[in-house]
A and B are shown apart, each in its own frame.
Chain A
């Protein structure tokens, strides 16, 4: 297990280095000189040159990269080209917003996906199973923002149960925080719930029909114990989907944060990309990759624990 853990950790670090390095050079080569955009198109060449010097853009690209990377490993991503505020501070303010929504959505996907998957797997062809099939078709056919808008119009505008836009920090009000993340989390999790439930249902049906389950029942094991064995063997696929969902939800958060006007890393990514704020985009990329690596690492550990065969691969 230790060898397996170290191997996974190293591959995650390699991914982090490759993605951040690639992002740095691609972004700088693609955007070129940002000073006109930052100062307005009427800026004089002297003003542009002064800003280039201020931002350190007059140095060779490898020097800029070394400067950026040596600070980034200490969590310092420099200052935003737009607001001139420290990027680390901006990201630190916004990560809790996105994580609140994404973790809540993941929790909903795990909890409801587990319950629905279990029931549908135990009663294939039943009402819930048929509803699950219908939901999977409908939800995949509908664009994500449409679902979000319907939820807003119904629960925020018509019923006034939840706010239509904005985020309340838990420091300010725990209830307010829960209310502000409920609709974004629900709209983000709907597809994930169905996916997890379907994976679990299919896994349960597949494992439930195997010889060892019949043997367990023949030996007179209580049905609850049998169900636990079945669940343990059926869960890897659902867990993998759940972890992939978490990563996907980080991407999906961009749309949700725009629709609900949440000050998270998704909306910051959108605004930074619109104005070509490279340092902010690089900081966001690094943070997002860290999330992805950590989640995948944890998933590998869980899968390795659940299924020893994985550790041998």
Chain B
């Protein structure tokens, strides 16, 4: 028995002695290797099937984009060195960078860019960015032209956001990009050292044309969905950048970490049926306003959102040119006013509504049940899986929503209001002539005039209670001293160019 205990003790001491020497301490000093907790695994290495959301870091390691974004979400050159629109805004001509080759030795030129853009146009996910692109042609070996069906003020933004990654034409032809990425990006993907779903290892290409933008000699990405695990990995020194829970900001500050936060999604109730086709009361603006007045966004942000965000009534992100701070006071929490509006609309005792529910929305369920209950609106919940929620939520007249925002006013107009999306299958703009007219003027305008009109449209849609926004939720990132993350609204996790020393 004594021998057994001694053996066990010796084993523990050997293990712990090794542990004391081999775990990298979180000394706070900047490191040459970026070790990121990325929250989500890569959806696909194929840029046509990838999500902009959390795939950005992965794809930005192995691919170059035609267009990138700067810190203010303005398009900046990447593989396209310059571009210009024709006077009628129907042709976008791009000059391409020379001397760039893909990892398999294929050259990047106009033919490769055309091949990629056709691939992206056909992609189920990426195709959304190219809805107004009719065709792409090579003008000469270093110039391409995108021919549009109509003026499109969102194209360059979406290309920069993550819809213009360029892959080897040979790899596109082989059809195996989903598992075997071949790009010209700043890092080499070390498959032998990587384990899909657990760890992705990249090594810097010293000769990359934009090497200065990527200061880290190596990058390791760990998809860690559990934010407590992510925090523990930061605390133990295994990560130096992590997607974080806002509730842990005080602990991060105690540790001397850098904390970066920026609004990423709006949280509230999405009205699918604004014309009352499926649920008559929702066709009355007074009912939608009543629901807006009923919810206490500040309380929900504090209780459920852990304070990580900004109370708001609008879907243009805080700080956006079309964002209007005055609109956030439009629907102050006022149950009496909500009841008055509901009675005025002919529903003094409320009405009944069915809403979908899935596990990740359960945090908001009691607030919705109680608040709508105060107005006499009785909710019947249909429980479903998360995958089914995204598939079926928009078949209900209204549902609890957490919807990503864009840091480009016209992308917000298109994405949130005018185009069909999974959360907005019936944009219903035509049913509101004054909205349709304002949308048309906004889309036709340019420059500051367009921004002004987008702001006006924002005000109009808030007034019409297009949605019931409770707050805009932050995405938060922790990084050790010496590493700075610059969040970009529209990217759930910023691409590598936004993770710098600092």
Task: Report which A residues bind B (CB closer than 8 A).
Answer: 31, 34, 36-37, 39-44, 47, 51, 82-85, 90, 93, 115, 149, 152-153, 156-157, 159-167, 175-176, 178-179, 182, 258-263, 267-268, 271, 274-276
Contact = CB atoms under 8 A, between A and B. Distances in A.
A165 B232 contact: yes
Given A164-B229, A179-B19, A258-B226, A84 B178 contact: yes
A245 B41 CA distance: 31
Interface string B201-226: 00000000000000000000010111
26 contacts: A34-B387, A37-B391, A40-B51, A42-B124, A42-B127, A47-B124, A82-B43, A83-B178, A83-B196, A93-B195, A115-B4, A152-B232, A156-B232, A156-B236, A157-B235, A159-B16, A160-B237, A162-B16, A164-B236, A165-B236, A165-B238, A167-B198, A259-B226, A261-B198, A261-B226, A263-B198
Given A37-B387, A161-B19, A274-B387, A44 B124 contact: yes
Interface string B229-260: 11011011110000000000000000000000
Given A152-B232, A164-B238, A39 B226 contact: no
Contacts of B127: 42
Q: Which of B179, B229, B235 has the most CB of A within 10 A?
A: B229
B51 A165 contact: no
A154 B16 CA distance: 13
B125 A42 contact: yes
Given A149-B228, A275-B387, A42 B128 contact: yes
Contact of A263 (B44, B197, B235): B197
Most buried by B among A43, A156, A164: A164
A162 B128 CA distance: 46
B228 A259 contact: yes
Nearest to B125: A40
A146 to B, nearest CB: 11
Contact of B195 (A31, A263, A276): A263
A249 B4 CA distance: 25
Given A176-B22, A259-B229, A274-B386, A36 B15 contact: no
B25 interface: yes
B48 to A, nearest CB: 10
Given A83-B179, A85-B179, A160-B23, A261 B124 contact: no
B222 A165 contact: yes
Given A42-B422, A165-B224, A176-B22, 7 more contacts: A37-B390, A41-B391, A44-B124, A161-B15, A162-B19, A164-B233, A165-B238
Interface in B379-436: 385-387, 390-391, 420-422
A39 B49 contact: yes
Contact of B391 (A36, A84, A179): A36
A179 B230 CA distance: 18
Contacts of B18: 175, 179
Contacts of B179: 83-85
A167 B199 CA distance: 10
Contacts of A165: 222, 224, 229-230, 232-233, 236, 238
Contact of A179 (B15, B198, B228, B237): B15
Interface residues of B, number: 47
Nearest to A275: B387
Contacts, number: 131
Contacts of A261: 198, 222, 224, 226, 229-230, 233
Contacts of B326: none
Contacts of A160: 19-20, 23, 25, 236-237
A31 B387 CA distance: 9
B421 A42 contact: yes
B238 A166 contact: yes
Contacts of B422: 40-42
Contacts of A40: 51, 124-125, 422
Given A161-B20, A164-B233, A179-B18, A268 B197 contact: yes
Nearest to A272: B197
Interface in B101-134: 124-125, 127-128
Contact of A175 (B15, B199, B222): B15
Nearest to B197: A263
A267 B223 CA distance: 11
Contact of B196 (A90, A166, A175, A182): A90
Nearest to A93: B195
Contacts of B385: 276
Contacts of A159: 16
Give the top 9 A-B pairs by smallest Cβ distance, nearest first. Answer: A41-B422, A263-B198, A39-B124, A43-B124, A164-B236, A164-B232, A161-B19, A157-B235, A161-B16
